[in-house]
Amino acid sequence: MADDPRASPHPDDAAAIERARATLRAVAERLAAAGARDEALAEHVVPKPILGIPRRPTMRRLGRAWRMGALLLGADGSVWRTGVSTRVAEPGRPQHHTASVEQRRAYRAAAIQGGFPMGETVNHGIAPIAIDESLVGSAGPLVVRDGQAWVRWGSDAPVPLERYLDDLADLLLHPPEGT
């Protein structure tokens, strides 16, 4: 697979996009039928002040999805790029720790404000990924190149989408002992 995102389209790219769409739907159906554990999707919202009085940030529900490494897979086969994952827990009081600790505390408080139950995993800062011709040569985690759909996760070499989803779906359906 070439690493140049400007590489010319392959004649089989359109078919690869259709196969990716079908694969995503099939894996979502498989996970739904098995009752695999999914996670909440949300948008972090900072409301505008009213009469100059600030209002507390909240998380607005967007739906549910299965975490598939670099991707979040919806029940309808839609897919999002992962963002920030927050476990809903009592946020505690500001302690003036590092900025990252205080940001995580603020996200927990926003999730509670949004009505998410304790212990829920909430994914926010996510971005939808269109399953269309924009995938050809994409710089995102899901890319179509050389007539095949690939997934990039971190600095690892791209993996064919079908194998990637199969491996991660298997982990969701058969988690290792102790998890």
> What pLDDT tens digit does each residue of the chain (179 aa) get?
444 444 556 789 999 999 999 999 999 999 999 999 999 999 999 989 889 898 899 999 999 999 999 999 999 999 999 999 999 998 877 777 788 888 899 999 999 999 999 999 999 999 999 999 999 999 999 999 999 999 998 777 899 999 999 999 999 999 888 65
* Total-model pTM: 0.86
Domain residues for the domain of 165 are 13-173
Contact by Cβ (8 Å): 44, 59: yes
Number of domains in the chain: 1
Residue 23 lies in a domain: yes
Residue 18 lies in a domain: yes
Residue 179 lies in a domain: no
Residue 151 lies in a domain: yes
Residue 7 lies in a domain: no
Nearest to 173 by CA among 59, 36, 61: 36
Burial class for 48, CB neighbours closer than 10 Å (0-12, 13-18, 19+): exposed
Residue 4 lies in a domain: no
Amino acid identity of residue 98, one-letter, is T
Residues 6+ apart with CB under 8 A from 143: 5, 135, 136, 137, 149, 150, 151, 152, 158
Residue 3 lies in a domain: no
Q: What is the pLDDT of residue 42?
A: 98
Residue 118 lies in a domain: yes
Q: What is the pLDDT of residue 179?
A: 55
Backbone phi, then psi, for 28, in 5-degree steps?
-60, -45
Tokens of 117: 């139950």
Q: What SS3 class is residue 45? A: strand
Contact by Cβ (8 Å): 42, 123: yes
- Pairing type for strands 79-81 and 58-68 reads unpaired
Helices (runs of H) and strands (runs of E) counted in the chain: 3, 10
Q: What is the pLDDT of residue 6?
A: 46
